[in-house]
């Protein structure tokens, strides 16, 4: 790697953080972080939500100033960076939202920043369209995207997610980035798209660009290799090659306690069928039939376009099915809307909890009782807050929320706690069937553990659960059976206890070519 | 492309979808142009008098003030904001300038009057921009506030008297011809010189938006202000420029309004904001920002002016103008939105 470095002295550190402290009001978010990043190396910044990962990134990218400490960038020392200083030094951050401007073209998203940085942020400059096109073409070719005029002129909101990710990386290349920070880049990507991304990362490293990942997905970290940096409570607790740690060690470093990586599912389903699905057909779902027992946990997986998402939404009335029959508890039920689903005792925890599930600026209490306000109101029409509070207290304990302040807005909670509030809300109606869609997306290791334990407790109590997820270890650890979807159909059914990840991938990928040549 | 790029080309072929739908999606002002042609065609058939030079020149003359306002509204809309104070900016600058030229500095040349009005408008606009940026309040609220403020200042401190006789140099500018010829019935028809201001301002606006980094930054902010600031665009500079530029256009529009009407009425202009915003939206700019073109804005202005001035020619009572404009806005908006969803 060093052989590729241009003339400079080998292994001069790219970026150094010295004793960085950050206070947000009374919260000590960073307690003296020391970090050194070398060119061309890959780093994985690991830690639970709220450990200070995002704060460090914001300090490095110039979005927040540190309270104290020193940032040494290319040999120059700064007390704080501005976004333009950070960009000009070659630090490009690809946030989870990718920081793309949805209304501009691909070429502009890739190459406009380069001109802005060249002008040092001054806007009273001519906009060089020829240069824009050339820069964009070079950068897009480097990440393997098309470079024709039609693609350059495409408005970014018209692109699929995976291409947008590559466009964001192309922008990093166009601005001659020396450090690319990627914030949970693979959360919403399919396995094949992740493979693509990993190839691009290798190419970046070959050009002596350092890459810093922030992620919860340890498997991908091992595939990429490089260094692990583990944060806990605003401190850096470990920094060494990732190969030196086992998954279990990393999880323990992150949480500061021992984490059980064994199967969570220890119980067995009760006798009797809870749900019978026959010939269910919806947009993207073709003629799907399966059954679910009382107290059974059923996993459903597949690629993003396999129909798994649509199946979850059809079961819960979010996107009603066109044909097919649902029998719940021996009765044929019609689920044409979420309200009908709730009426039958079918709950749905959506994948995008922020957009579809939670009222972020409302309190935990208000969120927990959202489904039962009418019942709490009774005949008088006035909500019984006392009763609601008692109920919410019980739910929060059951869900092991890490705060007892029910008046805290949900937006202030970590991802894992938000998810628990959402599941808790469903428990308020005592559902017979709960469909969980990506229950631990963007949730840290410790919270995952709690959520899994809750899921198991619900099944023990006789509730039927369907987990729709692309996190295969999650399904293998929690489910009784796993259905694999492909091209809108169920192509494989396995016993989770005896299945392997590879077996599931095979079903997700290979049969696909047979179905749709 | 590198050899391995085929394997990496995860992007689906975003083929240039041909056809009308794609055209409208990319250039919504096509709808505006079609509506305009349809109306002009219909009116011309029902009443051929429409095609007389006198009518066309009337339309051109009536477009200038609204067109200047619309360019300002458009550039702010493109950045995701909205401005409803521009009429008050225009009223304050035009009336103050007229008072200045009439009673304090009667020898002020017209070029200086125009320049001072533009600068005055820019100054008031910059106040808007600073308030929007530092108060972090939506621009709609800020400009509702400054609209009252500017107008209140005008009526309380500058004057409430309707000035019927302008300083001579202003009257002369309003009458100065660009084109002059005799119509069939012997009347003299004049296209005034001030008409030129509109195409020049439109070209300048187009140039700023499409050929400078500031222009691209304005659209970037309209796409998503948080992301734009994260990418290093200075929101403060952009806000100040935006509102300053729109204010300058409003100041210029105000003084031209006075010269063209040969009187200065301090109660004038305020109240016509919605008409202008309607024109910009009809021109294909989305109210949520980040889109639109100068050409579309000009077409939108033309559409509204044509509706306002020619319906009478085909025997539709003038009270119907609002009904027609309203239906067009809903129609065009519905069309843009369905096209958007059908991607």
Res. A255 pLDDT band, cuts 50 70 90: confident
Q: Where on the phi/psi map is residue A225: left (φ > 0), alpha (ψ -120 to 50), or beta? A: left
Q: How many CB atoms lie within 10 A of CB A279?
A: 12
Residue window 15-54, chain B: list those with CB within 8 Å of chain A: 15-16
Residue window 185-224, chain B: list those with CB within 8 Å of chain A: 210-217, 219-220, 222-224
Q: DSSP assignment of B126-193, as one string?
A: HHHHHHHHHHT--HHHHHHHHHHHHHHHIIIII----B-S--HHHHHHHH-EEEEEE-TTS-EEEEEG
User: Which candidate from B9, B16, B212 shows the least CB-CB separation from A127?
Assistant: B212
Closest CA to B342 of B13, B118, B24, B3: B24
pLDDT digits (tens, 9 = 90+) for B77-90: 999 999 999 999 99
pLDDT digits (tens, 9 = 90+) for A343-380: 898 988 887 776 677 888 888 888 888 888 777 777 77
Gap between the Cα atoms of A287 and A285, Å rounded = 7
The answer, yes or no, to whether residue A342 has pLDDT greater than 50, is: yes
Residues of each domain in chain A carrying CATH 3.40.50.300: 14-90+178-254, 264-345+432-440+462-517
Mean pLDDT of A229-258: 84
- pLDDT at residue A355 in the model: 66
- pLDDT at residue A516 in the model: 42
A447 touches A49 (CB < 8 A): yes
Residues from chain A that touch B222, judged by Cβ atoms under 8 A, are 103
A152 touches A106 (CB < 8 A): yes
A410 touches A365 (CB < 8 A): no
Lowest mean pLDDT, pick from A212-226, A345-359, B103-117, B235-249: A345-359
- pLDDT at residue B10 in the model: 37
Gap between the Cα atoms of B167 and A182, Å rounded = 65
Mean pLDDT of B272-284: 90
User: Which candidate from B11, B224, B232 shows the least CB-CB separation from A83?
Assistant: B232
CA–CA distance from A505 to each of A221, A486, B116 (Å)?
19, 11, 72
Cβ-proximal residues to A34 (8 Å cutoff; 6+ apart), any chain: A17, A18, A19, A20, A236
Closest CA to A119 of B216, B245, B226: B216
CA B218-A124-A82 angle, 5° bins:
75
User: Given an 8 Å threshold on Cβ–Cβ distance, is B238 in contact with A123?
Assistant: yes
The answer, yes or no, to whether residue B178 has pLDDT greater than 60, is: yes
Tokens for A321?
């099915």
User: Given an 8 Å threshold on Cβ–Cβ distance, is B1 in contact with A141?
Assistant: yes
Where b means 16+ CB within 10 Å and e means fewer, B315-331 reads: ebeeeebeeebeebbee
Q: Which class does domain A14-90+178-254 fall in? A: alpha beta
Q: DSSP assignment of A33-84, as one string?
A: EEEEE-TT-EEEEE--TTSSHHHHHHHHTTSS--SEEEEEETTEEESS--HH
A53 touches A20 (CB < 8 A): no
Query: pLDDT over 90 for what percent of chain A?
Result: 25
User: Given an 8 Å threshold on Cβ–Cβ distance, is A61 in contact with B224?
Assistant: no
Task: Using CB atoms within 10 Å of the CB of residue B186, give its burial: 0 to 12 exposed, 13 to 18 middle, 19+ buried.
Answer: exposed
Gap between the Cα atoms of B36 and B310, Å rounded = 12
Q: Does B182 touch chain A (CB under 8 A)?
A: no
Q: How far B242 CA lies from chain A's nearest CA (Å)?
A: 12
Residue bearing tokens 């606009």: B125
pLDDT digits (tens, 9 = 90+) for A403-422: 778 888 887 777 778 888 88
Where b means 16+ CB within 10 Å and e means fewer, B208-240 reads: bbeebbbbbbbbbbbbbbebbbbbbbbbebbbb
Residue bearing tokens 């798209």: A193
Task: Give the chain B residue whose CA is nearest to the CA of A193.
Answer: B10
User: Which candidate from B6, B10, B232 shows the least CB-CB separation from A162?
Assistant: B10
pLDDT digits (tens, 9 = 90+) for B240-258: 999 999 999 999 999 999 9
The answer, yes or no, to whether residue B5 has pLDDT greater than 70, is: no
Task: Name residue A92's beta-bridge partners.
Answer: A180
Higher pLDDT, residue A287 or B336: A287
pLDDT digits (tens, 9 = 90+) for A462-498: 899 999 988 888 888 899 999 999 888 898 899 988 8
CA–CA distance from B268 to each of A243, B155, B163, B271, B273 (Å)?
75, 11, 12, 8, 12
Query: A264-345+432-440+462-517, superfamily in CATH?
Result: P-loop containing nucleotide triphosphate hydrolases (3.40.50.300)
Gap between the Cα atoms of A26 and A356, Å rounded = 32
**Phi/psi at B7 (5° precision):** -65, -30
Q: Where on the phi/psi map is residue A499: left (φ > 0), alpha (ψ -120 to 50), or beta? A: beta
Torsion of CA B39, B42, B46, B49, to 10 degrees: 50
A18 touches A69 (CB < 8 A): yes
B252 touches B197 (CB < 8 A): yes
Q: Does B287 touch chain A (CB under 8 A)?
A: no
Residue bearing tokens 């009335």: A317
Return the H-helix or E-strand segment holding A273: strand A273-282
Gap between the Cα atoms of A66 and B246, Å rounded = 38
* CA A103, A108, A114, A118 torsion-angle sign: negative
Task: Give the chain B residue whose CA is nearest to the CA of A109.
Answer: B220
User: Given an 8 Å threshold on Cβ–Cβ distance, is B213 in contact with A126?
Assistant: yes
């Amino acid at each position: 790697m060093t052989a590729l470095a241009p003339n400079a002295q080998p292994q001069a550190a790219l970026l150094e953080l010295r004793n960085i402290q950050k206070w947000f009001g009374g919260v000590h978010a960073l307690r003296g972080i020391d970090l050194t990043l070398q060119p061309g190396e890959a780093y994985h910044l690991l830690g639970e939500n709220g450990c200070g990962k995002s704060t460090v990134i914001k300090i490095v990218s110039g979005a927040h100033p540190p309270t104290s400490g020193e940032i040494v960038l290319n040999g120059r020392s700064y007390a704080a960076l501005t976004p333009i200083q950070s960009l000009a030094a070659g630090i490009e951050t690809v946030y989870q939202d990718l920081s793309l401007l949805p209304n501009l073209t691909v070429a502009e998203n890739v190459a406009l920043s380069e001109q802005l940085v060249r002008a040092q942020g001054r806007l009273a400059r001519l906009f060089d369209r020829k240069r824009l096109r050339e820069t964009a073409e070079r950068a897009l070719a480097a990440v393997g995207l098309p470079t024709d005029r039609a693609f350059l002129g495409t408005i970014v909101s018209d692109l699929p997610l995976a291409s947008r990710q590559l466009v964001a990386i192309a922008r990093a290349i166009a601005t001659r980035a020396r450090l690319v920070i990627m914030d949970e880049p693979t959360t919403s990507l399919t396995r094949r798209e992740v493979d693509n991304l990993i190839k691009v990362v290798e190419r970046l490293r070959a050009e002596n660009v350092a890459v810093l990942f922030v992620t919860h997905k340890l498997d991908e970290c091992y595939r990429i290799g490089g260094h692990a940096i583990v944060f806990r409570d605003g401190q850096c607790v470990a920094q060494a090659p990732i190969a030196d740690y086992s998954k279990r060690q990393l999880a323990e470093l992150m949480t500061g306690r021992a984490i059980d990586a064994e199967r969570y599912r220890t119980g067995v389903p009760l006798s009797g069928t809870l749900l019978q699905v026959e010939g269910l057909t919806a947009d993207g779902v073709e003629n799907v039939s399966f059954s679910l027992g009382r107290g059974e946990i059923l996993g459903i997986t597949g690629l993003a376009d396999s129909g798994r998402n649509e199946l979850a939404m059809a079961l819960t009335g979010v996107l009603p099915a066109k044909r097919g029959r649902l029998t719940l508890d021996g009765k044929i039920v019609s689920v044409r809307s979420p309200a009908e689903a709730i009426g039958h005792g079918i709950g749905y925890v959506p994948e995008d909890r922020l957009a579809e599930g939670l009222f972020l600026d409302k309190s935990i209490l208000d969120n927990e009782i959202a489904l039962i306000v009418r019942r709490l109101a009774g005949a008088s029409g006035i909500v019984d807050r006392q009763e609601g509070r008692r109920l919410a207290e019980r739910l929060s304990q059951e869900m092991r929320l890490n705060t007892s302040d029910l008046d805290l807005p949900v937006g202030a909670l970590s991802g894992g706690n938000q998810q628990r509030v959402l599941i808790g809300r469903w428990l308020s109606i005592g559902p017979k069937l709960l469909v969980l869609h990506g229950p631990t997306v963007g949730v840290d290791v410790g919270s995952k553990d709690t959520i899994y334990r809750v899921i198991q407790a619900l099944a023990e109590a006789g509730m039927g659960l369907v987990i729709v997820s692309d996190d295969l270890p999650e399904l293998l650890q929690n489910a009784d059976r796993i259905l694999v979807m492909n091209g809108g159909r169920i192509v494989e059914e396995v016993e989770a206890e005896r299945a392997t990840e590879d077996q599931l991938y095979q079903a997700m990928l290979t049969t696909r070519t047979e179905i749709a040549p | 492309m590198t050899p391995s790029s085929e394997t990496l080309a995860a992007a689906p072929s975003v083929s240039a979808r041909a056809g009308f739908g794609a055209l409208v999606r990319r250039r919504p002002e096509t709808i505006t142009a079609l509506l305009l042609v349809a109306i002009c065609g219909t009116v011309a058939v029902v009443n051929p008098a429409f095609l007389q030079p006198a009518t066309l020149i009337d339309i051109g003359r009536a477009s200038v003030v609204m067109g200047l306002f619309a360019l300002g509204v458009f550039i702010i809309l493109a950045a995701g904001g909205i401005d409803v104070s521009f009429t008050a900016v225009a009223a304050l600058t035009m009336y103050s300038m007229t008072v200045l030229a009439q009673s304090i500095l009667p020898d002020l040349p017209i070029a200086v009057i125009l320049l001072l009005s533009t600068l005055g408008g820019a100054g008031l606009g910059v106040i808007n921009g600073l308030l929007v940026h530092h108060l972090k309040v939506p621009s709609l609220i800020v400009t509702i506030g400054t609209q009252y403020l500017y107008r209140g200042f005008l009526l309380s401190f500058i004057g409430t008297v309707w000035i019927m006789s302008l300083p001579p140099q202003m009257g002369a500018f309003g009458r100065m011809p660009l084109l002059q010829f005799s119509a069939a019935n012997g009347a003299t028809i004049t296209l005034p010189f001030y008409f030129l201001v509109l195409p020049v301002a439109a070209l300048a606006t187009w140039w700023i938006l499409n050929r400078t980094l500031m222009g691209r930054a304005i659209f970037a902010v309209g796409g998503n202000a948080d992301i734009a600031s994260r990418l290093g665009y200075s929101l403060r500079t952009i806000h100040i420029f935006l509102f300053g530029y729109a204010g300058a256009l409003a100041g210029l529009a105000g003084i031209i309004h006075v010269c063209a009407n040969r009187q200065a009425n301090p109660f004038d202009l305020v109240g016509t904001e919605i008409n202008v915003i309607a024109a910009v939206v009809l021109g294909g700019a989305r109210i949520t920002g980040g889109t639109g073109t100068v050409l579309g804005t000009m077409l939108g202005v033309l559409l509204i002016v044509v509706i306002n001035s020619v319906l009478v020619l085909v025997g539709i009572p003038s009270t119907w103008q609002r009904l027609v404009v309203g239906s067009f806005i809903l129609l065009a908006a519905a069309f843009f939105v369905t096209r958007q969803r059908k991607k």
